[in-house]
Amino acid sequence: MKLGAFSVSLSVKDLAVSKEFYEKLGFSVFAGSMEMSYLIMKNGNALVGLFHGMFEGNIMTFNPGWDESAQKQEEFDDVRTIQKNLKAQGVDLISHADESTSGPENIILVDPDGNQILIDQHV
């Protein structure tokens, strides 16, 4: 399966403090804003999402159809195809994509250790 760009989405207590910390590691703001309560920080191909008050815990995120610079990829596996494949393998989903639609959609699953995985297609 082609899952697309990978990032870690972190639930942070203080967005400004977290922004400053990741800037010290060489990350810079790539998307989002303080006013929107989230920032996507980038360092080379590494992406870290900082989210304040949006969800609990940390989430691994994949973006089918995007590369690490949020540029559309011509060839990718649609999230609905990924969903069908996972279901066929017996993987339980906690959020499902509407298979009667096309375009942006997402699914959420949890790994055996309780880590959430968001597969979030924007194209």
Read off the CATH number of the domain in which 33 is found.
3.10.180.10
pLDDT in tens, 60-97: 999 999 999 999 999 999 999 999 999 999 999 999 99
Of residues 116, 104, 89, the one with CA closest to residue 1: 89
* pTM of full prediction above 0.85: yes
How would you list the strands of the sheet with 105-110, edge to edge?
Answer: 28-33, 38-43, 46-51, 5-11, 59-63, 116-121, 105-110, 93-95
Q: Which domain holds residue 14?
A: 5-121
Contacts of 97 (CB under 8 A, 6+ apart): 79, 80, 83, 105, 106, 107
Total structural domains within the chain: 1
First-residue to last-residue Cα distance in the chain: 17
The stretch 104-117 carries a mean pLDDT of 95
**pLDDT tens digit sequence for 21-41:** 999 999 999 999 999 999 999
